[in-house]
Chain A
Amino acid sequence: MNYLPLTETDRQEMLADLGVKNFEDLIRVIPEKLRLKDLNLPSGTNELDLTRELRELSAGNQSTAQALSFLGGGYYEHFIPSIINHVISRSEFYTAYTPYQAEASQGTLQTIFEYQSMIAELTGMDISNASNYDGASATAEAALLALRHTGRNKVLVARTLHPEYRETIRTYCFGSHFDIVDVPFDAAGKLDQAALVSLLKDDVAALIVASPNFLGLVEDFEGVAKKVHDAGALFIMSVNPLSLGLFKSPGEWGADIAVGEGQSLGIPMSLGGPGLGFFAVKKELLRKIPGRLVGMTKDRNGHRCFALTLQAREQHIRREKAGSNICTNHALLALAASVYLAAMGKEGLRKVAEYNVRSSVYLREQLAKIKGFEVPFKGSVFNEFVLKSAKKSPTEIVQKLQAQNIFAGLELGEFYPELKDSLLVCATETKTKAELDRFIDAMRAVS
């Protein structure tokens, strides 16, 4: 095995050094009854044959590189600048671990510090942690933070928050006395403000909303933060960070916590993982934030440097008293996001966001003109929207377009029964006008 440096001679010498005859003598401590005779697995495969086999297996998928995909719903096909893969392929980054030894990890530590800075900027928050696993688990941890912080037992969740995030919050709260209550959406597909007011009682720890919401709408949250704060609760926003190149940040809306999925920031979709959970808060919640934090400090010579800090919040110090159990996070994807944000900069990020808006609005308008389709929710969108099909079922549309190598969109019925006639359709900067027109023609043909 070419990954194993010990030679047979090494092994024999080392065993002799240890004063034993064979390897078995080293593991006599394992009771005989528990010793495994052999693994029932095939023998190893050489690199060339395995590469061939796995390439063939990968070809058994129809990737979005081959198909024309209009799928969104929390994970998006975006342009990824070449430099990102080159940077995260530096094995000094990807084969290191959590920077416990600051002197030997300044590279990782500084990149995390820069990541924290950029996420704080983007979200309009004061502090970001070093990352969570994904948008869903970050949102669930935000709910737990609010429950702990307020000592209350109920969390209000907009029904337009990603259905899988809502399920994750429920799972995280399973077995507890915590109550997760959905806030419905109104006829415009937005947070039902009247319902919110009636639910916002003094047992509520937080309101969690999404922007853009799962129906693709960017909502106006003017006044929401005040209502939530007046009730003594926290305002949590789960956002698509790429949209923040153009749209108001959670900070501007008065949110206390901003979380979300950072996959849009230069991370390949990879069937839904690994992505990037981000978690940012206002200063007041500094000591409640889960996960790692990197701070700038001085070394003994007075030079600025970086180190993990405020570790007294964390599991390896506080054990059962820790606020979260997170240890391994998604640092390498945080690095990818940092490179993406550095490359895009303020201007590039706005331009990409605008491209998404233009693409999706164009597509929405053109599809709405086709007889048989309509757009039930008319509000502002970032890169996806709901398309209702009056005649053909979404399943039929999806199947017919799949035959033409097009992924038409996400069928909404399984998430929202009342939207069983609708698709969630997404168009990002990856689509040219010609591709949108090809899709529009295909849709016209099946309508």
Chain B
Amino acid sequence: MNQNVSLIFEKSRPGKRGFSIPEKHFSDLDVKALVEPNLLRKQSAELPSVSEPEIVRHFVTLSQKNFSVDTNFYPLGSCTMKYNPKLNEDVARFEGFAQLHPYQPEETIQGALNLMFDLEGALKEITGMDRFTLQPAAGAHGELAGMMLVKAYHDSRKDFKRTQVIVPDSSHGTNPASAALFGFSVVTVKSDERGRVNLAELKKLVGPETACLMLTNPNTLGLFEDEIQQIQKAVHDAGGLLYYDGANMNALLGLARPGDMGFDIVHLNLHKTFSTPHGGGGPGAGPVGVKERLVPFLPAPLVDKKDGKYVLNYDIPQSIGRLRSFYGNFGMLIRAYTFIRRHGREGLNQTSRDAILNANYVKKKVEKHFVVPHAEFCMHEFVAQAVKQNDLGVHATDIAKRLLDFGFHAPTIYFPLIVPEAMMIEPTESESKETLDKFVDAMNVIADEAVDFPDRLRQAPFTLIISRPDDVLAARQPVLTFKDYQAAEHLHLQNQPVGVPVHVE
């Protein structure tokens, strides 16, 4: 079955238009006389000419080719695909928030600064940290800020030998990438048989060259690092800092705080724990919190309160500088703040409790058919393995694809890298028991299919608008634009089965 939507460029016809703007203002002024002719564009950009109803149908039709949280259970591990409350969307669009210019005088943005100040206050309380910068645009951006803070801190103490960042082998890929992007050398500490940081090995790795340890807790196996106090001591005794990757903070709201565990720097993914929508890949927001001794190095500006007024404080002499323009993804900050205020202390705590309960419930129910490497309760997510199925020639990716046929988004697969045939499942608190039961049923049906009809799984999915894409072809002959496509004869559908419409609206 193929229901491809033609490209917007293929819908373009001369004479169509999708815009309506005033055209008479200043029509007495000839632009050609107003600008130097050599500056004018010679080759115009070949943008499509399409009418408004066609544009709307194009994009709405495309939207229907997606799985999303609002249409499907989306247990993508480590991504916390929870419900995105609609109120948040409305509030972020209030004229008094959405239509603010970043360079307006402070007196005219007091409401916005107030919100940022209060959001920071809530994040401090939730994490046990002393101050936050709201500037980073995403988790990885926060990690980069964190690496800079680590360096600035050690430099300020004239401790220039600390060039190593330690990450567990189960860490998110962004951790080593952020450390390396900033010039640290990356040292990997192995996990032990309990799926935790191998403390004995960590103790051997830390030393005068250790800048920091980056850790996710609960880790990417969904397990709480229960030796965190000893880990903390080992790193701090060696003079290093502790960085908390907050990707899994959804497990801990009101239950435990990274600040109390001894972390010096924390980033949060507001698009995970605090429900700002993932947007098909973003935008997110990655505020970074620190303990007192790192406050002097935070990016400028910070939002402070002075004599009853909110101010943007640029007077941070030891600041690492800014990581982006302006003050952060304010639109996302509004949504996260609204989420926090709707839940309050009890609601946030219940959020984590339900996330943990849901994960354990699903884990228990799929254990019959899938290997779950660690026999203990998990936190908000867990990793199952398709290793039994592997012996039948069926892989995690086949199970993931088959799940799509059942109307469920796939878990995160092949991550963490240390677990063969990994399927990382994070139900979040937003799912009902009924949905979880259906998902479990699907997993178990698929496990049976792996035995009886392994080929069915290798061919899946069957019910979506396309079958599996040829990733090798995509990488070997990159077709990344419409122009590339026009020149790419191999994609011009010479192999269409007769009678199957190629482009259906």
Contacts and interface: CB of A to CB of B under 8 A. Distances in A.
A197 interface: no
Interface string B55-87: 110111011111111111010100101011101
B143 A325 contact: yes
B357 A6 contact: yes
Interface stretch (A226-234, A355-363, A438-446): A355-363
A442 to B, nearest CB: 16
Contacts of B52: 83, 343
Interface stretch (B100-108, B199-207, B287-295): B100-108
Nearest to A407: B104
Nearest to B66: A107
A249 B469 contact: no
Contacts of B271: 328
Contacts of B157: none
Interface string A61-89: 11111010101011101010101011101
Contacts of A361: 29, 34
Contacts of A359: 25-26
B156 interface: no
A324 B400 contact: no
B347 A325 contact: no
A18 B87 contact: no
A120 B9 CA distance: 13
A319 B45 contact: no
B493 A304 contact: yes
Nearest to B299: A171
Given A18-B364, A274-B332, A346-B47, A106 B66 contact: yes
B101 A305 contact: no
Nearest to B408: A104
A198 interface: no
Contacts of A298: 469-470, 473, 490-491
B372 to A, nearest CB: 13
A5 B354 CA distance: 9
B174 A315 contact: yes
A246 B40 contact: yes
Given A61-B108, A270-B100, A295-B479, A3 B342 contact: yes
Contacts of B469: 102-103, 297-299, 305-307
Nearest to A345: B49
B408 to A, nearest CB: 9
B481 A91 contact: no
B109 A271 contact: yes
Nearest to B15: A347
Contacts of A133: 137-138, 141, 282-283, 324
B330 A61 contact: no
Which of the four size classes fits the interface of chain A? 35 or more
A11 B429 CA distance: 12
Nearest to B503: A304
A123 to B, nearest CB: 8
B316 interface: no
A165 interface: yes
B256 interface: yes
A41 B125 contact: yes
A306 B470 CA distance: 9
B305 interface: no
A344 B18 contact: yes
Contact of B326 (A34, A127, A272, A303): A272
Nearest to A124: B43
A124 B42 CA distance: 11
B432 interface: yes
B468 interface: yes
Nearest to A106: B65
B453 interface: no
A326 interface: yes
A251 B282 CA distance: 28
A330 B46 CA distance: 24
Which of the four size classes fits the interface of chain B? 35 or more
A206 interface: no
B282 A332 contact: yes
Interface in A85-102: 85-87, 89-102
A256 interface: no
B280 A134 contact: no
A82 to B, nearest CB: 9
Interface stretch (B90-98, B233-241, B385-393, B441-449): B90-98
B254 interface: yes
B197 to A, nearest CB: 14
Contacts of A86: 56
Contacts of B12: 345
Contact of A117 (B324, B409, B482): B482
A358 B27 CA distance: 8
A245 B21 CA distance: 15
B418 interface: no
B456 interface: no
Query: Which residue among A244, A274, A380, A407 has the maximum number of chain B CB atoms within 10 Å of its CB?
Result: A274
Interface in B12-26: 12, 16-23, 25-26
Contact of B9 (A114, A171, A272): A114
Contacts, number: 732
A24 to B, nearest CB: 10
A418 interface: no
B246 interface: no
Given A307-B469, A325-B174, A29 B376 contact: yes
B301 to A, nearest CB: 11
A170 B321 contact: yes
A329 B281 contact: yes
B280 A5 contact: no
Interface in A3-53: 3-6, 10-11, 13-15, 17-18, 23, 25-31, 33-36, 38-45, 47, 50-51, 53
Interface stretch (A149-157, A333-341, A367-375, A386-394): A333-341
Contact of B493 (A63, A107, A170, A303): A303
Contacts of A17: 361, 364
Contacts of A71: 101, 103-104
Nearest to B479: A296
B480 interface: yes
Given A63-B99, A349-B47, A433 B25 contact: yes
Nearest to B90: A51
A271 B112 contact: yes
A297 B321 contact: no
Contacts of B451: none
A375 B92 CA distance: 38
Interface in B273-318: 277-285, 299
A350 to B, nearest CB: 7
A252 interface: yes
Contacts of A58: 91, 94-97, 111
A75 B101 contact: yes
B342 A47 contact: yes
B101 to A, nearest CB: 4
Given A117-B481, A168-B323, A328-B284, A61 B109 contact: yes
Interface string B229-262: 1000000000000000000000001111100110
B109 to A, nearest CB: 5
Contact of B321 (A45, A171, A319): A171
A41 B45 contact: no
A81 B95 CA distance: 15
11 contacts: A25-B377, A35-B255, A58-B97, A175-B183, A270-B97, A271-B112, A298-B473, A303-B502, A331-B283, A342-B50, A350-B44
State the 6 A-B residue pairs at the shortest beta-carbon distance, nearest first.
A272-B326, A60-B111, A58-B96, A44-B344, A272-B102, A331-B281
